[in-house]
Amino acid sequence: MTLQLGRHTFDDDATLVMAIVNRTPDSFYDRGATWGEDKAFERVETVVAQGAEVVDIGGIKAAPGVEVDAAEEKARVVDFVARVREAFPGLVISVDTWRAEVGDAVCRAGADVLNDAWGGADPELVDVAAAHRVGLVCTHTGGVTPRTRPFRIEYDDVVAAAVRDTVAYAERAVAAGVDPRSCVIDPAHDFGKNTFHSLEVTRRLGEMVATGWPVLVSLSNKDFVGESLDLPVGERLTGTLAATAVCALAGARVYRVHEVVETRQTVDMVRTISGHRRPTRAIRGLA
């Protein structure tokens, strides 16, 4: 399916790297390295130079922590989105928010995608996406409350649940007026899931791809990688790239990441092996 993300269109065989930019002082990964606006803008400049097609700007960390209301979230992201839009007119700007109020504000500032990591917790977000004609990431979280950790969540079949809920979310968005080409589904590794659940959706990601909706994966340095290898945050790159390769072979389209260059090389190599991409240069034995 061709992707239409705001003002940007991508062919149906394109894969996109979505670079994470945290406007938070307490991110689990960067520990506030891009909390300052200028530092966050430097991060945008870096990932664009590295080849990221999308930046995903977030104003609230996913984990439990200090309460951040809608006014504070907007203060962290709206003007920053406007600054990035002015500097990079050809860049896809995504904002990680579940709040319709925040979504409306960032779309007015130039955002192209609303990345709802909490599975439709605010039912009005689809109306905002429709009104602004932007993309929407539809995630599966098992119905958990935003910014809570999963506790003994059980599924009869986690992949079936992820397929059912994300497709239903995408269909609800289309019914509200979102362009079908602008809906992306995401199994949401770690969100509403334990490590065994996240491993299962990774193994069976092809079942989500088979729905026909473009699939986004957010694997970067997640706890399921850390628990699988018994590694802390900061030492999970190899495990992340292994999971990325599995998802690339299954046909994921968008990769939300901290490490842009390594992800792009992994995805491109897998797609070249699978025959979906030609080698950039192939002269061995021919010249």
Domain boundaries, the chain: 3-273
Strand partners, 186: 139
| Cα torsion 83, 54, 95, 20: sign | negative
Alpha helices by DSSP H, the chain: 37-50, 70-87, 100-109, 125-132, 158-176, 195-203, 205-209, 223-229, 237-250, 260-273
Q: Nearest 5°: CA angle at 24, between 22 and 29?
A: 60
What long-range pairs does 171-177 form, CB within 8 A, spacing at least 24? 172/120, 172/126, 173/126, 173/129, 173/130, 173/136, 173/138, 176/126, 176/127, 176/129, 176/130, 177/127, 177/130, 177/131
237-250 vs 260-273: helix axis angle to the nearest 10?
40
Q: What was the pLDDT predicted at 284?
A: 94
Q: What is the arrangement of strands in the sheet containing 135-139, beginning at the earlier edge strand?
A: 183-186, 135-139, 113-116, 92-96, 54-58, 16-22, 254-257, 216-218
Nearest to 148 by CA among 60, 236, 24: 60
pLDDT at 2: 87
Q: Give residue 29's pLDDT.
A: 84
Upper half-sphere CA count for residue 246 (Cβ side, 13 Å): 16
Report pTM. 0.96
Cβ atoms within 10 Å, residue 84? 24
**Predicted local confidence at residue 80, as pLDDT:** 98
Question: What is the CATH class of 3-273?
Answer: alpha beta
Contacts with 49 (C-beta within 8 Å, 6 or more apart), sequence order: none
pLDDT < 70: residue spans in the chain: none
Name every residue whose Cβ is closer than 8 Å to that of residue 157 and which is 6 or more positions away in sequence.
none
Q: Look at residue 30 in the predicted model and tell me its pLDDT.
A: 83
